[in-house]
Amino acid sequence: MILKASQRSGAKQLAMHLLNDENEHITVHDIRGFISDDLLSAFKEMQAVSKGTQCKKFMFSLSLNPPAHESASVDDFEKAINRIEEELNIKDQPRCIVFHEKEGRRHCHAVWSRIDGEEMKAIKLPYFKQQLNGIAKELYIEHGWDLPKGFISKELSDPRNFTLAEWQQAKRLKIDPREIKNALQQCWKASDNKASFENAIRERGFFLARGDRRGYVALDWRGEVYSLSRSLSVKTKALKERLGEVSDLLSIEKVKQHIAKNHIKLHQQFSKELNLQHEFARKPLFDQRTAMQQQHREAREHLRQQQEDRALLEQQARQGKIRKGLLGLWDFITGKSRKQHKRNEQEAKASEHRDRQEKERLVIQQLNQRKALQTELIALREEQKKETQSLNDSFANTLEALNYEP
C-alpha cells in the first residue's frame, strides 16, 4: 500500500474532507478512545485536549491506498494500521478509521490524536515518513503486489546502468530475498516468451542460465544463483513452454564469465569517473595553495621593501647625528664623535635584529597557514585513497565471487 501521512491541525476541515460526498461510499469504520460517537465531534475532542498543551499539529493523519489494480480486505487495512501504530509508538491513542469507495476502488484513512492524555504532551513522531515507506514496501512484498519503481532496491537493476554512487550504494545494501522473488515474479508476469523474459530480468540485474542440474536458473550481477521454479512457483513444464529447452541456455560458468567481463568495463568506467571526482574535489585546495603561495611571496616582498625604506631613513637619521665642520672637529677632539659612531653601530645592529625577527615571524605565520592547508590536502588524499581502494576491492570481490579467469 502507498502510505501518506502528515501531522496537522484543522479538526473541522479534516472531518468535512473525510465525509465529503464526492466519494461514492463513505464508511466510518471505527471511533476509538472518544466520548463522542461521530467523526466531527471526535476530532473536536482531539482539538480540545490539545489546548492543554503547546502542540499545534495535534492530529496524525494517514491514508492507505492499495495499488490501482489490486484490492485489500478490511482485515488487511486493520492489520496494516495496527502495525503502523506499533512502529510509530501510537498504540492505544484515540483513533478514527474511515473507508472511501470510488470508481471501484477502496482506500482508507486513519487519524490519531498525538496528545498523550496522561502526560499531557505531544507524542513525537521522528522520521515517520521513512518508517512508513519501509512498512509500505513490506506490505507490497507480503501481498505479492508489483513494487512501484521507487520501492525497488537499487541492487535489482542492471549494473551497466549504474552510476558510481549507485554502485557504491548497491554494494552496501542487504536485499530482502522476498524482494528478489517478487522482482522475478513481476518479470514472469510481464513476459510471454524467452526474449521478453530475458529483457525483463536483465533490467533487474538478472541473467538466465542453465543450472548444474540442468534446471532453469537466474543469476544476479553478483553471481548468486536462484532457481526459477522455486522463485516463480511454476513447474518445469511451464518454464520449458515459455523459455524453450534448458539445453539451449548458457551454463552458469559461462554466464558468470559474461557478467565478469561487463564488470571489468564498468570498473574502468567508474575508476575514470572517480578520478575526475577526486580531481574536482582537490582543485579548490590546489587553487588555494597557488593563491597562498602568491600571497606569501607578495607579503615577503612588501616586508622586504618596507624594511629597506625604513633602514634607509634610519641610516640617514643616524648619519644626521654626526656633526660636520668645526662642530664635527670639536666632537672628534672631545671623543663625542666616537661615542656617536658606536651608538650608531649599536642602533644599526638592533635594527637588523628587529628586521630579522619581523621576517621570521612572518615566515612562521605563513608556514603555519601552509601547514594547515597541507593537513587538509593530506586528509583529502587519504579519504580519496580509501575510496579508490574500496572501489577496487568491491570489484575484486565481485569478480572473485564470479570465479573470473582472465
CA distance 142 to 151: 14
3-class SS at 233?
Answer: coil
> What is the domain partition of the chain in residue ranges?
2-151, 159-250, 261-401
Q: Which helix (H) or strand (E) holds 364?
A: helix 336-401
CA distance 114 to 90: 8
Listed in sequence order, the residues at least 6 apart from 284 whose beta carbon sits closer than 8 Å to its beta carbon are: none
CA distance 61 to 114: 10
- CATH code that applies to domain 2-151: 3.30.930.30
CA distance 66 to 75: 13
pLDDT by residue, tens only, the chain of 406 residues: 889 999 999 999 999 999 987 888 999 999 999 998 999 999 999 999 999 999 999 999 999 999 888 888 999 999 999 999 999 999 889 999 999 998 888 999 999 999 998 889 999 999 899 999 989 988 988 888 887 777 666 666 666 666 777 666 666 556 677 888 888 888 998 899 999 999 999 988 899 999 887 789 999 888 888 889 988 888 989 999 999 999 899 999 999 999 899 889 989 998 999 999 999 999 999 999 999 999 999 999 999 999 999 999 988 888 888 888 888 778 778 888 888 888 888 988 999 999 999 999 999 999 999 999 999 999 999 999 999 998 898 888 888 888 877 6
Place of cell 638592533: 350
Q: Which amino acid is at 320?
A: G
pTM: 0.55
**107 - beta bridge partners?**
100
CA distance 204 to 152: 9
